[in-house]
Amino acid sequence: MRFFAPIQDVLQIDEALVKSLQKDASLKTVDLEAYVAGTQDVACNRSANPKTSLDPVQMEMRGDTVWIRPGTGQATLPAGAKSVVVDLRDLPDVPSLRAALEKAVGLAMSTNVPRLSQQLRAHYGFTDEAIANPNVYSQSIKEVPQEPIVAQGQEDLRLALVTGPELAPEAAELAITLRLAQRAWIVGEDVRADVAESRWQGVGNKGVYVRIKALALEGKQVPDVLPADRRSSAPECVVEEVLGQGATPPKAAQGAANRPNLAVVNTFGKKKPKGESLAETQAAMILAHGTLRRFFPYFPVVGDVVDERLLEVLGSLQEPLNRKTIRQNLRRFLASIQDGHGFVADLYGVPPKGFLPLFLEEVNGEPVVRHSKAPGINPGDTLVSMQGVPFTELLATELARTSAASPGYRFMLAVSELLQLDGPVELVLRDPQGSLRTHTANPQPVEDYAAVSQVASLRPAGYLTDLGAPSLYYINLSDQVLSSMQDFEKALQEANGSQGLVLDMRGYPGVDIYEIARHIILKKFSSPIYLTPIRIGPELTEVDEIAYAFNPSNPYPNPIALIVGTQTVSAAETFSTMLVDAKRVTVVGKPSAATNGNITALLLPAGFAVTFTGMDVRFADGNQSVFHGVGIVPQVPSTFSAQSFAKGIDPELMDAIQVLSKK
């Protein structure tokens, strides 16, 4: 409904989902009437048809007219047949119906009949609803042709279709197609286009028909109603009279087409009202699940456990709920996709009172302070406990509800949750010599937290003379250090006299990564390969594959060491991938976040949003090797210790110096 139906107001559709869940907290039943009432006249609820398959095809000769009831098996017209009547009434809506209908009418045709085209909403990736408008993902309306109805007869016989007050969508589409082509008469009831444009979704012993397309003839939507050539509750009594008018009916009356039409829906920024009810939370979970099921590209890589995780989280929800517990449950669900872009935002959330401004590294399974702006907490300290609870226990809880594609990045994201404070906390710290102390930490400003938590090093560009390597040059590519191409080009010009170059990509780049790569890579090179899923209606899928080629621009000629770490993510990994694919660098440090591809966001009931990666990014190595969950793996892995942090040593930089000194 939300992604493919001809709707305009997504807020109303999501609210309809919430209302449908309010009667039964156990979700064993769903109020479909409440749901359909809010679906803007593009759906109807019906009881499920107990028939799940077609009967065998039935044929009866009445004079020189053959009556056919479509079904399974083969059929041959009896000798002497001059007319064919196909009974479309009360056929079950099953996948095999389309083929059975085509077999039945094909017996009366010697030439194929073109089918109507389908206008469908197409999604190029999942259109972002909360972060950037526009972004690389988009919607459009596509007109998709269909295969013709194949003739199976030796001559064109007179053909009539018998219709009733209820038709399966395939039967309705067939009737409209053949009547507009002036190839069949319609006897019985008028045929509604919205029925032909609908798709069934079962829910228990009931279900919903949802319009998911618009049928079009020569680019124009077909009329809402195609009148029967003879309306009758007893078509058996009048069909011969209608057929007596000839094999070619007159042109069908072209009525109005006023039903809701498909259109691109702009949902950006339309956040839902603030709420904390169980039904709103359940609806948010269900909508997040349905969106990932359609648009998340990495299930073949990470495995598909979202069904199991949805049931787990829905089963754990208990009232009363608050915004913190709702967010935690959404995070637990989102952790199932193992995506470093998988975040949950409370759009009505209150910022914490402050932070613990620390940069923590995982050393032997424990969080060790690398940088600190927290009074009384020093580099090299290990966080042993917080508020009397072992920090490793707190961390394990957060890791279980943290989405990430690599262990290192999951650690960093989980730690970031624990460093948000709503008041003073009592910590137990262990210094590098093993001594324990108790320390009360007060919330600090976000500016202090941002200054130390975003990147492992803020060292500026320059020669590494102070580290005993005067012939080596260093450039920090983090946006907290480098913010203009002019500054990069100036630094690279200074580096021209060096014997080797260290590129530090442990942060997020602040300049054009493709332009930087042109100054580094010595030959023509490629970007990573970007594979964006395309959903055209609920059933058609395609993949758009893009890669960009670049030529070098006066590149630096000497050996290069590239430093990466757990916070090398997304665009930083794009840059690193190009250098690795080109075999231009020796990689030093820790494995990267293994998360790349443009992020996108979904707005949820209760005033939350979730984000995820919307495209599949691959190495351009000739094999399109998987990147997600693999990332940039150092050729020279660095080791860490509390003692080195206490002394202010940068282990990755020292390893990079050693690598280049050997070349």
Strand partners, 550: 525
How far is Cα 535 from Cα 122, in angstroms, rounded to an integer?
6
Q: Is the pLDDT of residue 52 over 90?
A: no
In this prediction, residue 340 carries a pLDDT of 98
pLDDT band at 50 (very low <50, low <70, confident <90, very high): confident
Average pLDDT for 316-335: 97
CB 604 within 8 A of CB 271: no
pLDDT of 262 reads 93
CA distances from 395 to 273, 446, 453, 572 (A): 32, 21, 17, 26
Q: What DSSP letter does each residue of 411-425 carry, written as one string?
A: HHHHHHHHTEESS-E
According to the model, what pLDDT value does residue 47 have? 86
Whole-angstrom Cα distance, residue 30 to residue 45? Answer: 11
Is the pLDDT at 51 greater than 90? The verdict is no
Q: Report the relative pairing of strands 425-430 and 382-386 from DSSP bridges.
A: antiparallel
Which two structure tokens, joined as six digits, stand for 600? 């996108």
Tell me which DSSP letter residue 578 carries: H
CA dihedral over 516, 517, 519, 525, signed as positive or negative: negative
Is the Cβ–Cβ distance between 477 and 561 less than 8 Å? no
User: Please, which pLDDT band fits residue 1 given cuts at 50, 70 and 90?
Assistant: very high
Angstrom distance (rounded) from CA 231 to CA 190? 7
Q: pLDDT tens digit string along 591-620?
A: 999 999 999 999 999 999 999 999 999 999
CATH 3.40.30.10 fits 462-596+631-661, yes or no: no
Predicted local confidence at residue 377, as pLDDT: 98
User: Alpha carbon 548 to chain centroid distance?
Assistant: 23
pLDDT per position as a tens digit, 510-554: 999 999 999 999 999 999 999 999 999 999 999 999 999 999 999
What distance separates the 2 farthest-apart alpha carbons in the chain? 105
Return the DSSP state at 456: S
Say if residues 550 and 518 touch (Cβ distance below 8 Å): yes
How confident is the model over 652-660, as a mean pLDDT? 98
Q: Can you tell me the distance from the alpha carbon of 555 to that of 557, in angstroms, rounded to the nearest whole number?
A: 6
Q: What is the pLDDT of residue 49?
A: 82
Query: DSSP characters for 165-224?
Result: S---HHHHHHHHHHHHTT--EEEES-EEHHHHTEEEEEETTEEEEEE--EEEETTEEPPS
Query: For the chain, what's the residue count?
Result: 663
Average pLDDT in the chain:
96
Bridging pattern class, strands 230-231 and 185-188? parallel
- Beta strands 214-217 and 83-87 are unpaired
Mean pLDDT within 233-252: 93
Q: Is the pLDDT of residue 4 over 90?
A: yes
The answer to whether 87 and 162 have CB atoms below 8 angstroms apart is yes
- For 205, 492, 507, 564, 578, the CA distances from 488, given in Å and listed in that order, are 65, 6, 15, 18, 18
Give the Cβ contact number of residue 269 at 10 Å.
Answer: 10
User: Quick one: CA dihedral 489, 493, 494, 500, positive or negative?
Assistant: positive
Tens of pLDDT, residues 123-173: 999 999 999 998 999 999 999 999 999 999 999 999 999 999 999 999 999
Between CA 45 and CA 343 the distance in angstroms is 35
**Equal CATH topology for 44-120+145-243 and 462-596+631-661:** yes
Average pLDDT over residues 99-123: 97
Instruction: Give the β-pairing of 83-87 and 43-47.
Output: unpaired
pLDDT bracket for residue 302 (50, 70, 90): very high
Nearest to 344 by CA among 420, 285, 406, 395: 285
Q: How far apart are CA 269 and CA 292, in angstroms?
A: 20
**pLDDT(40) > 90:** no
Task: Collapse the DSSP code of 19 into the 3-class scheme (helix H, G, I; strand E, B; otherwise coil) and give the result.
Answer: helix
What integer is the mean pLDDT of 469-498?
97
The CATH class of 44-120+145-243 is alpha beta
| Three-state secondary structure of 261-288 | CCCCCCCCCCCCCCCCCHHHHHHHHHHH
User: So where are the chain's domains?
Assistant: 44-120+145-243, 462-596+631-661
Among residues 278, 126, 123, 207, the alpha carbon closest in space to that of 605 is found at 278
Does residue 323 contact residue 347 with C-beta atoms inside 8 Å? no
What are 402-422's pLDDT values in tens digits?
A: 999 999 999 999 999 999 999
Q: Is the separation of the CB atoms in 343 and 327 below 8 Å? A: no
Q: What is the mean pLDDT of residues 255-279?
A: 93
**Tokens describing residue 410:** 């999951």
Give the Cα separation of 210 and 442 in Å (integer): 55
Q: Report whether 210 contacts 145 (CB < 8 A).
A: no
* Integer Cα distance of 544 and 546 in angstroms: 7
Tokens for 409, please give them: 């990045």
Residues 33/43, Cβ–Cβ less than 8 Å: no
Instruction: Give the 3-state secondary structure of residue 658.
Output: helix
Q: Where are the alpha helices (DSSP H) in 42-160?
A: 97-106
Going by pLDDT thresholds of 50, 70 and 90, the confidence category of residue 312 is: very high
Whether 505 has a pLDDT exceeding 90, the answer reads yes
β-strand partners of 345: 609
Phi-psi region of 460 (alpha: psi -120 to 50; beta: other; left: phi over 0): beta
State CA 11 to chain mean position distance.
19
pLDDT in tens, 335-390: 999 999 999 999 999 999 999 999 999 999 999 999 999 999 999 999 999 999 99
CA angle, corner 635, sides to 632 and 636, nearest 5? 115
The C-alpha atoms of residue 332 and residue 312 are separated, in whole angstroms, by 9
Phi then psi dihedrals of residue 522, to 5 deg: -85, -15
d(CA 641, CA 281): 43
Does the pLDDT of residue 41 top 90, yes or no? no
